[in-house]
Chains A and B, each alone.
Chain A
Amino acid sequence: RPRHQLIRPKNKNASEKYSKQHYPKDISPLVLTSATQELFGCCADRDVTRESPHKLLKKEDIIQDIKRRAAVSDFSPVKQIVLEYPDEELLLVFDRDFTYGQSFYLVITPEPPQAAVSEVVELERIKTPEPKQWISLGSELEIEEETVKETRDKLRYRFSRVRRKFGAPVCFSDRNTADAKDGHLECAAYPDSRFSIKQLQRDCGIQAVPTLQSSTKNIFTQYKPRDLSDQERESIVQSENLKNFCSSVTSRLVTIHNEQITNVFFDDWKDLGTSPEADDWSGKVSEGLTLHQAFTDQVYTKDRRISCVNWHPALYGVIAVALTEKKEQPFTFDARPSLIVFFCFSDPFNPQLLLECPDDIFAFEFCPSDPNIIVGGCVNGQIVLWDISAHVTHLQWTQSGGKKDLTDIKESKTPVVRYCAVSAVESSHKTRITDVQWLPPTFEVTRMGVPVENKFNTSVQVVSCSPDGTLMFWDVRLPRLLSQHAAERKQTSDEKAHLTPYSVPDTFKHLDRTWKPLFRVLMSQCECERECLFLKSSDRLLTCPGVNLASMPAGINDVLFCFSPVSGTKPLHCFNAHHWLVNSVQRSPFFRDIILSTGGWNFAIWKEGVMDGPLIFSHSSEQVCTAGCWSLSRPAVFYIGKDDGSIDVWDLLEKTSEPSQVYAHVTNAKITCIKPWSTARESRQHLLAVTDDDGVVRVFEIPKSLYVPSRNEVRQIFFLVFFSAFNYKNLKSTFNAVHTQSNCQTQEHNIKWKLMQLFIVHDLMCCM
């Protein structure tokens, strides 16, 4: 009976459900005696149990039982129902829990109770739900993407050796993959930037607990710091934990407390202010000028005054001197030719090169952009040009110490170079030329006297001055081919290639005897037509096309003045400082506007732009100051040469009122010229050339203390000496003003500084 077989054991829930409804109509509680139970095979807890309380009974059997036992039969109360029962079998349910009052009940309706069936069916329905239709949300695409599929068939390779080698021994070797270029492919690991996450937010706690809150709404909240009650405090203080903490921390604290904090970045040794090469000190350090070499020549230089000395700008150890007669006689029967003599360190007694001059040379200069070109100014007012490019190799060879081969006739005589060009006599100066200078390669002057930027960066112009009151500007280029200057130069240099030592190079052929000055400046307005006129142009002139910033100080007799070419012939300033001849004027190599001038019995240091007078004016010495020059490496040092042959070394940082070192009687004759040379490139020698009236050139070695600048020396010198001296007048007024408010601490500091400045200036003033 499929219907009955559908019925599954009822669970407790169903029976509980039934207990709520008493006696549903379709069942009938029944009591079955044990005999009946035995008879029908439904013994309690044996045949029917709680788990399987159902038992089907045949209707016939029940009817038989009723017939047999009549009233005693357990089934008698339900006799009628059984008789009317349509089906053959009846369902007997063991009701262990006596939910309907008896231990058994008979299901009297043919259909099983609706509720049970429906529930059972529903249970079955719930148990096996049907799967829903799958809606594609795109996941199959992702899976499709991520799956690994073979794009092609697998390749199969079969390697085999040739048949004849089968069974032969094999030789395997190793090979490094790095040996072959494409021996391997690798996929290198790299840090992926997607995985660096920065923490941009951070939780932090603040200790503040609101203490007051109004009941309805929070109008204001007041914060009070948390505090412990006294008892809590007591307990903590007593705790072992705190005691341990105190003992451990105290020791640490006390040691640290006693430490002194030092600035670990401060180097005491460096700050002492010693020289930068502190490790270079040998045991013997000479503190003064030591004679390195002396050059003289019996034939050419003896007893002649050296009027000018110059170091060769490119070659080390080559020095050139111009010689003039001692007695200033226009006509002399001395048959010695006028020469510029070149000496070399390797041979102090024989000149290496001689430059033939038309007349005695008072001043000459190497061209700054081409050391083979030399310009000289003669006694008769002419300008002379030499080109020694043919002999440079010879000079270099001797300078490097090449020994002269006596068998070689060509080298046995000192080569003489004749001048390439000389200016036209009628357009030169009327009297002797006292100074010539090359204009620096950065600018040049036009015919009108306007300085313009020099595009070729070579020195092409020369300035000369003379006591006849004129200043002349000469241009070494061809006048009509000024624009093709560069090409021209190249051409002429090629022509020089094949020249014997005794022929004249063609470099300045265009100028020979026809050379005219570019333009001339007349200085005769000022009352300074005297003997010596010196001109020195600065090494560093500012170049601004269109704006004239060039000025050249010219020292005349007792006057020092500066002028600029554009303004024509009028000098900018005129000072009457030296009482006699001014014989040297030089700009400081470190400061563009500081000028040293020597003349008479003193020297002076000037600052361009200061109209009042010199910054520093030395007190008169017993001897006439005949030469002066700045040191090339130390802004505070300069050398003064004297009439009696002594040299004064001044160090402004050491002493401002007297020379720091005096070398008396270096020579017996008057010192005519001092020129320093720094050979920082090649060796650590710094040399000073000193020439005198006797034709001897002495080269001194400058000691380290005089050529190694101290730290910040430039700044020190600038502020201590020049700036304060310049500001003396301003200083005094500000000092008075500041003095009245001396209570403030910062003002105090200022006062101290100003006092210091004042003392220095006072020192300087004492010199005057």
Chain B
Amino acid sequence: MAEVEETLKRIQSQKGVQGVIIVNSEGIPIKTTLDNSSTVQYAGLIHQLVMKARSTVRDIDPQNDLTFLRVRSKKNEIMIAPDKDYFLIVIQNPSD
């Protein structure tokens, strides 16, 4: 418990980070620093994106796998670190 909390705190304290979400492999949020509605929205949408990205990578080379996904937009940046069972979503504002 303490480790997870500590992780979240550590990431949250980085420069420009707006929110951190931990999601399980089905897209259900486990831990979050954002409000509920945003969390749910992010989790659902990003989960689909990660699945798509992962299948893309693996289709091209079945021995390859997705390690990191980064989506830059005009206003902020979303960084996703996928894993076997969970993935971590970090929303940050890079110009800060």
Contacts and interface: CB of A to CB of B under 8 A. Distances in A.
A252 B44 contact: no
Q: How large is the interface on B (under 10, 10 to 19, 20 to 34, 35 or more residues)?
A: 35 or more
Given A227-B28, A236-B24, A252 B68 contact: yes
Given A233-B30, A242-B22, A253 B4 contact: no
A249 B88 contact: yes
A504 B11 CA distance: 96
B61 interface: no
Interface in B8-56: 10-11, 14, 17, 22, 24, 26-28, 30-31, 40, 43-44, 47-48, 51-52
A256 B44 CA distance: 24
A430 B22 CA distance: 99
B1 interface: yes
Contact of A253 (B43, B81, B85): B81
| Residue among B4, B14, B22 having the largest count of chain A Cβ atoms under 10 Å | B4
Contacts of A204: 48, 51-52
A246 B7 contact: yes
B86 A207 contact: no
B19 to A, nearest CB: 13
B40 A225 contact: yes
Which size class do A's interface residues fall under?
Answer: 20 to 34
Question: Mostly helix, strand, loop or mixed at chain B's interface?
Answer: mixed
A251 B10 CA distance: 11
A259 to B, nearest CB: 10
A501 B61 CA distance: 80
A238 B1 contact: yes
Contacts of B67: 252
B79 interface: yes
Contacts of A237: 1, 4, 30-31
A228 B4 CA distance: 18
B11 A253 contact: yes
A243 interface: yes
A242 B86 contact: yes
A227 B26 CA distance: 10
Given A207-B44, A243-B3, A256 B68 contact: yes
A454 B54 CA distance: 67
Given A242-B30, A246-B3, A250-B11, A257 B85 contact: no
B24 A253 contact: no
Given A243-B3, A245-B85, A225 B30 contact: no
15 contacts: A204-B48, A207-B44, A207-B47, A236-B30, A238-B1, A242-B30, A242-B86, A243-B4, A247-B7, A249-B81, A249-B83, A249-B88, A253-B79, A257-B14, A257-B17
Interface of A: 204-207, 225-228, 233, 236-238, 241-243, 245-250, 252-254, 256-257, 261
Given A237-B1, A245-B85, A253-B81, 15 more contacts: A206-B48, A207-B27, A207-B44, A207-B47, A227-B28, A242-B4, A242-B30, A246-B4, A246-B88, A247-B7, A250-B11, A253-B11, A254-B14, A256-B68, A261-B72
Which 10 pairs between the two chains have the least Cβ-Cβ distance? A246-B7, A249-B81, A243-B3, A225-B40, A245-B83, A245-B86, A249-B88, A207-B27, A250-B7, A228-B28
Interface of B: 1, 3-4, 7, 10-11, 14, 17, 22, 24, 26-28, 30-31, 40, 43-44, 47-48, 51-52, 67-68, 70, 72, 79, 81, 83, 85-86, 88, 90, 92, 94
